[in-house]
């Protein structure tokens, strides 16, 4: 049977893609950020998961406001990146795992999570930046198959934090019922606090982010006390993306160990976070 071996929360800021492209990881601006990924690289290298479920949001590459699914899962043999309009160089296509996608879709819809099912979908920086971050060399990426789960955090109303945590738990059950013997990792991406739009652009809330990171392992329900509107106020209009980390956390279940974390301000306009949980055997 498939088993979830761990989960990673990570920001997905486009500037990271540019830094990787320019090989700028050791420059003073970037070093404190990329150093935070060293334990993650080591862990992924050691564990070599077969499949990654990548929770992210599309920022206007695949989905427009004409059709905006709350949750959309990919069921394609590969996922292509493309021009987003402002200069990030597309990365090579990433292989998917359609058989496992359909298993997850069947199980999740049965579990009353009515996903939009995508046999073709372009993936934007919300997906490709985490892939490049987790597996920095194309060589390291060869064995991994990725299943995208796209969440609407663009056009309000967004799913609630509670719904995200529940979806995560359902994903945990769905992975555990997959017949192939595969090791699976789940990535919750986006955040942490940041605001790109409005006169309050540049807003960051360090105290909130740190408390979120502190609570995520043992008390992820802590975030549920806030509505998405309150989260926009407290963490910035795009800080709300942290609800996608709850999907990752929910999937892992109770017994997890925190292997590493890093928090760094700023990357571009954002407070960047990364956290690695290993599921206890």
Partner 1 sequence: MTKKKARKPIPGTTIFDGRMAMKGYALNKMCYSFNEAANREAFRKDEDAYCDKYGITDEQRAAVKKRDVLKLLSLGGNIYYLAKLTGIFGLNMQDIGAQQSGVTLEEFKAKLLAAGEK
- Report the catalytic residues: 125, 194
Q: Is 89 in the site for partner 1 (CB under 8 A)?
A: no
For residues 108 and 178, is the Cβ–Cβ distance under 8 A? no
Select 65 or 281, whichever has its Cβ closest to partner 1.
65
Helix ranges (DSSP H) in the chain: 14-21, 31-34, 38-47, 98-110, 125-134, 138-141, 161-176, 206-216, 228-235, 243-252
For residues 78 and 159, is the Cβ–Cβ distance under 8 A? no
Nearest approach in angstroms of CB 30 to partner 1 is 14
Of 168, 97, 91, 99, the closest CA to residue 130 belongs to 91
Output phi, psi for 32, to 5 deg. -60, -25
Q: Is 27 in the site for partner 1 (CB under 8 A)?
A: no
Q: Fill in the per-residue mask, 65 to 84: x = in contact with partner 1 (CB under 8 A), - = not in contact.
A: xx---------------xxx
| Residue 134: strand, helix, or coil | helix
Q: Fill in the per-residue mask, 30 to 49: x = in contact with partner 1 (CB under 8 A), - = not in contact.
A: --------------------
Q: Is 281 in the site for partner 1 (CB under 8 A)?
A: no
Q: Is 201 in the site for partner 1 (CB under 8 A)?
A: yes
What is the spatial distance between Cα 188 and Cα 275, in angstroms, rounded to a whole number?
A: 10
Nearest approach in angstroms of CB 181 to partner 1 is 40
Q: Is 266 in the site for partner 1 (CB under 8 A)?
A: yes
Q: Fill in the per-residue mask, 236 to 265: x = in contact with partner 1 (CB under 8 A), - = not in contact.
A: -x--------------------------xx
The answer for residues whose C-beta is within 8 angstroms of residue 269's C-beta and 6 or more apart is 194, 195, 196, 201, 202
Q: Is 227 in the site for partner 1 (CB under 8 A)?
A: yes
What is the spatial distance between Cα 185 and Cα 250, in angstroms, rounded to a whole number?
A: 13
- Sign of the CA dihedral with 155 first, then 212, 88, and 133 last: negative
Q: Which two tokens stand for residue 167?
A: 């979806």
Interface with partner 1 (CB under 8 A), residue from 21, 60, 106, 214:
60
Interface with partner 1 (CB under 8 A), residue from 19, 40, 204, 251:
204
Of 233, 228, 210, 98, the closest CA to residue 164 belongs to 228
Which stretch, 40-48, 178-186, 201-209, 212-220, contacts partner 1 (CB under 8 A)? 201-209
Interface with partner 1 (CB under 8 A), residue from 1, 93, 202, 257:
202
Select 119 or 156, whichever has its Cβ closest to partner 1.
156
Span 115-154, contacts to partner 1 by CB under 8 A: 154
| Binding residues for partner 1 (CB under 8 A) | 14, 59-61, 64-66, 82-87, 154-157, 195-204, 206, 227, 229, 232-233, 237, 264-266, 268-269, 271
């Amino acid at each position: 049977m498939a088993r979830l071996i761990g989960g990673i929360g990570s920001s997905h800021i486009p500037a990271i893609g540019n830094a990787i492209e320019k090989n700028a990881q050791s420059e003073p601006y970037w070093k404190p950020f990329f150093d935070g990924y060293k334990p993650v690289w080591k862990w992924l290298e050691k564990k070599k998961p077969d499949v990654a479920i990548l929770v992210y949001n599309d920022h206007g590459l695949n989905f427009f406001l004409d059709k905006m699914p709350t949750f959309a899962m990919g069921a394609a043999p590969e996922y292509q990146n493309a021009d987003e309009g402002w200069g990030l160089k597309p990365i090579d296509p990433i292989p998917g795992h359609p058989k496992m996608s359909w298993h997850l879709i069947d199980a999740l819809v049965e579990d009353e999570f009515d996903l939009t099912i995508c046999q073709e979908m372009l993936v934007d920086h919300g997906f490709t930046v985490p892939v490049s971050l987790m597996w920095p060399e194309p060589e390291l990426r060869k064995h991994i198959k990725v299943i995208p789960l796209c969440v609407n955090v663009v056009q309000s109303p967004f799913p609630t934090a509670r719904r995200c945590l529940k979806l995560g738990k359902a994903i945990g059950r769905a992975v555990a019922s997959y017949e192939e013997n595969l090791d699976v990792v789940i990535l919750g991406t986006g955040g942490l606090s940041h605001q790109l739009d409005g006169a309050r652009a540049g807003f960051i809330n360090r105290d909130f982010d740190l408390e979120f990171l502190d609570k995520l392992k043992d008390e992820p329900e802590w975030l549920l006390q806030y509505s998405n509107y309150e989260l926009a106020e407290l963490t910035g209009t795009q800080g709300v993306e942290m609800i996608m980390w709850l999907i990752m956390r929910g999937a892992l279940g109770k017994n997890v160990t925190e292997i590493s974390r890093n928090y760094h301000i700023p990357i571009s306009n954002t407070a960047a976070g990364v956290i690695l949980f290993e599921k206890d055997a």
